[in-house]
Structure 1
Amino acid sequence: MIEDMLRTPAAVQDAERHTAHNYHPLPVVISSAEGAWVTDVDGKRYLDCLAGYSALNFGHRHPTLIAAAHAQLDKLTLTSRAFIHDQFADFCRELAALCGKDLVLPMNTGAEAVETGIKVARKWGYQVKGVPDGQANIVVAEGNFHGRTTTIVSFSTDSDARADFGPYTPGFRIVPYGDLAALTEAIDEHTVAVLLEPIQGEQGVVVPPEGYLRGVRLLCTERNVLFIADEIQSGLGRTGTTFACEQEGVVPDMYLLGKALGGGIVPVSAVAADTDVLGVLQPGQHGSTFGGNPLACAVATEVVRLLATGEFQRRSAALGERLQAGLRGLIGKGLVAVRGRGLWAGLDIDPALMSGRKACERLMERGVLAKDTHGSTIRLAPPLVITEEEIDHAVAQVAAVLAG
């Protein structure tokens, strides 16, 4: 540990000196960024292939989003929900339209959106479905990542996220991801919702079997259960469609959104659903001081407008084919498997070759930033503004790292 610290640049040591070690970042200190590129304190440039876990879908400092933030900063930043501000209606109306839903409930972080979805589903179950008080259950999937609050980690199967944070919140049933038969068996008369990621990002960009999401939708409809889609990482253009659920022509009862909704500028999340679902909430039953604040709404409205053109979805689909094809060409050359949709890929490295962490460190040395997960897997999620040449560059660097 001491030897590692001695080899670590001074700026990295300084950044970590008074920081709780809940992250293990790569030893790079970024000072500026634009588009798909970031620059460190020493002036070295890196191609960002993580994009803030999809929070930066539109790249760093997108000019339209930066302009909206600057303009709003000069006028109004916070009122709380005790009052209505002039950015609120546009944001809620336009996001609801993008989702094809009646209502929007703005929050701040993705975990808050998930917590909101859980509360709404339970209340809907008691008030609409008629589940006896205190008996509601929600079915979730193994390998899920929905955040790190105490309730959410209660149904995590990741020991790092869950261990030593009990006692755990009851009311959740865990089934294998992609297993429709197991999901069917888990649902009973007290089930109020099925909560799933259409693609499991943290697990390594795991794509479910063809037809799984359609089956979930049909099952939820038949059994009078809400289908809640956590599109916090997979949504807003990342997979080549506005929502990953669209890949199977599926519309959930509730969307959970976040990350890219704030344009990489401010934390913005939201729950979108129809009136018969979100309408169960009444004043005083749920809220957030900063949720739906003027600055957040100003930026997020412009994000919705960028998505409404379809340009970024088309870019993600077309450029994603190039990325996926390039990476698949490395299977058998250090890669065991490649998964993904659009500009989102999970790469399983031969564990005999190196760990995911080591691969990311070597990519960093070659000017590409990525993130490892679960041992020998790394994730690539470049901003949707990336170019064909930059994709080819990223794939070439992955190939070079695998070749040693």
Structure 2
Amino acid sequence: MHGSTQHGTSTHAATDAAIAVEDASLAHNYHPLPVVVASAEGAWVTDVEGRRYLDCLAAYSAVNFGHGNPRLLEAARAQLDRVTLTSRAFHNDRLGPFAEELAALLGKEMVLPMNTGAEAVESGIKLARAWGYRVKGVRPGAAKIIVANGNFHGRTTTIISFSDDEEARADFGPYTPGFVSVPYGDADALEAAIDDDTVAVLLEPIQGEAGVVVPPVEYLPRVRQVTRDRNVLFIADEIQSGLGRTGVTVSCDLVDVVPDLYLLGKALGGGIVPVSAVVGDRDVLGVLRPGEHGSTFGGNPLAAAVGLEVVRMLASGEYQERASRLGARLRTGLEALIGHGVTEVRGAGLWMGIDIDPAVGSGRQVCERLMERGVLAKDTHGSTIRLAPPIVISEDEIDDLVDTLVSAIDDLR
């Protein structure tokens, strides 16, 4: 792999030692590849032994703009010297501009700032229920939200209550009621599930953890029409799919759909600080009253300063265009592998799900072979690997990535 010339060094002592400390001290809620990252720049990371890897996960799209992006680092450093945290007990001079420009970027009116993606989802659920009771007139305590099979919206107790991933759900009950799950991509099933107590439909426009599953092109427009006709909110979880990843600002733009609420996170913090947000219009976000919802760190000056710079970078359209153009190049390369160890390729922009032929090996095995060759990727659901490199990746690096995947698959044949 271009740039990974230090692979093949004779010792892994530093890596083994670092992993041993982690294994002894950390709860085992992840099963990471045996790489210990020490530094990073652009689309590349370097481990404790000096080996370089092309990062094709980008922290699940949190690093869309590359590691150590100079504009984002400059915004963070400037704010570090001024003030980093005030809590929302007071105003700060970064939060207003951040909210105003983020709302404008998405054609909405208001922003509810939070920290993590899961917090944004939880906030969206609370908003939908409050709207249902206070605006739609749903019976007290009866609000229902429709979700999709195969969803991934986070790992809080409420969110895993409507997950069908038993690895994320098992042994964490009792579960939160109020959710109805229907097949993803089936607008007829979704419409049939709506009743007088339904307050919202919560969907990923493209399902990420499920393997970058793209629904039929008519699905989201139909969901938007049905929800509008039935007086139900449409909430789009764009935490992984949004902010340039799919070649547009948010992936709903691919089919010209505007939901009532956008849920954003990950890349909104530029890979520097956790930043998330619910973005919508006043008729929905305006239902919140002071004291009903909050976060000590949500909307803090440092997060707002970094988020504001992210919004301004996206406002130029440069990153969206780049993800679209390079994504087309990546897709062409990957589709040539169908029938040669790959059974299917799905995705949009620089976000791809690749199904590995089970006769060749598992997704984890392919990711391990990629790692040995200087590429970091992540498997999901056994046979699928996901590719989501930083948008700053180059054309040559895209081509090398495809060549490296060919070699990794050939290794397992």
Give 2:369's aligned residue: 362
Kindly provide the amino acid, as one letter, of the partner of residue 34 in structure 1.
E
Kindly provide the amino acid, as one letter, of the partner of residue 116 in structure 2.
T
User: Residue 151 in 1 paired to residue 185 in 2?
Assistant: no
Find the partner of 2:74 among 63, 67, 75.
Answer: 67
User: Residue 381 in 1 paired to residue 393 in 2?
Assistant: no
1:10 offset after TM fit, Å? 2.1
Give 2:51's aligned residue: 44
Find the partner of 1:12 among 7, 13, 19.
Answer: 19
**Structure-to-structure mapping, 1:108-187, within 5 angstroms:** 108-187=115-194
Kindly provide the amino acid, as one letter, of the partner of residue 390 in structure 2.
P
**CA shift digits 1:151-203 (9 cap, x unpaired):** 00000010011111000000000000000111011111110000000000000
1:256 offset after TM fit, Å? 0.1
SS at match of 1:235: coil
Kindly provide the amino acid, as one letter, of the partner of residue 237 in structure 2.
D
Q: Separation in 1 of the partners of 2:126 and 2:320?
A: 31
Kindly provide the amino acid, as one letter, of the partner of residue 134 in structure 1.
G
Gaps of 5+ in 2: 1-11
Find the partner of 1:34 among 41, 59, 63.
Answer: 41
Going from structure 1 to structure 2, the CA distance change for 1:299 and 1:8 (only over 3 Å counts) comes to closer
Gaps of 5+ in 1: none
Give 1:207's aligned residue: 214
Kindly provide the amino acid, as one letter, of the partner of residue 92 in structure 1.
A
**Structure-to-structure mapping, 1:4-403, within 5 angstroms:** 9-403=16-410
User: How many residues matched?
Assistant: 400
**CA shift digits 1:274-332 (9 cap, x unpaired):** 00000000000000000000000000000000000000000000000000110000001
TM-score, normalised by the number of residues in structure 2: 0.96
TM-score, normalised by the number of residues in structure 1: 0.98
Kindly provide the amino acid, as one letter, of the partner of residue 368 in structure 2.
E
Going from structure 1 to structure 2, the CA distance change for 1:220 and 1:374 (only over 3 Å counts) comes to same
Would you say the 8 A contact 2:15–2:48 is kept in 1? no
Q: Percent identity?
A: 69
1:6 offset after TM fit, Å? 11
Q: Separation in 2 of the partners of 1:67 and 1:240?
A: 25
Q: Separation in 1 of the partners of 2:186 and 2:20?
A: 45
SS at match of 2:54: strand
1:273 offset after TM fit, Å? 0.6
SS at match of 1:17: helix
Would you say the 8 A contact 2:15–2:35 is kept in 1? no
Q: Separation in 1 of the partners of 2:44 and 2:333?
A: 20
1:16 offset after TM fit, Å? 2.1
1:34 offset after TM fit, Å? 0.3
Kindly provide the amino acid, as one letter, of the partner of residue 297 in structure 2.
F
1:31 offset after TM fit, Å? 0.4
Which of structure 1's runs of 4+ aligned residues deviate more than 6 A? 5-8
Would you say the 8 A contact 2:326–2:395 is kept in 1? yes
Give 2:3's aligned residue: none
Q: Separation in 2 of the partners of 1:111 and 1:159?
A: 18
Kindly provide the amino acid, as one letter, of the partner of residue 96 in structure 2.
A
1:210 offset after TM fit, Å? 1.3
1:7 offset after TM fit, Å? 12
When the two chains are superposed, the root-mean-square deviation of aligned CA atoms in Å is 1.2
SS at match of 2:263: strand
Would you say the 8 A contact 2:15–2:49 is kept in 1? no
1:261 offset after TM fit, Å? 0.1
Kindly provide the amino acid, as one letter, of the partner of residue 69 in structure 1.
A
Going from structure 1 to structure 2, the CA distance change for 1:6 and 1:385 (only over 3 Å counts) comes to closer
1:8 offset after TM fit, Å? 7.3
